[in-house]
């Protein structure tokens, strides 16, 4: 399902994510980035995501502060 097919705006999505009260908020960011840039999960705990095409390790940082 594409983002455009969902029944909420980008602003509503952002507000919903920022209103989450969880210690795992960074995982939400990892999932969103993974989908947006079409990469794979990291190969080990040293990085969050991995781009096989460009052989890049990707570390996702996210904060509500």
pLDDT tens by residue, 6-56: 677 878 877 887 787 777 778 888 888 898 899 999 999 999 999 999 999
Nearest to 27 by CA among 12, 42, 38: 42
**C-beta atoms surrounding 48 within 10 Å:** 19
3-state secondary structure (DSSP) of residue 63:
coil
Cα 41 to the center of its chain, rounded Å: 11
Domain spans, the chain? 3-58
Helices (H), 1-65: 10-18, 25-37
Predicted structure pTM score:
0.67
Residues paired with 8 in a beta bridge = none
């Amino acid at each position: 399902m594409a983002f455009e097919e969902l029944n909420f705006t980008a602003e509503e999505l952002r507000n919903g994510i920022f209103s989450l009260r969880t210690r795992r908020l960074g995982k939400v960011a990892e999932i969103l980035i993974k989908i947006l840039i079409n990469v794979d999960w990291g190969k080990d705990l040293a990085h969050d995501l991995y781009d096989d095409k460009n052989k890049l390790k990707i570390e996702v940082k996210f904060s509500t502060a």
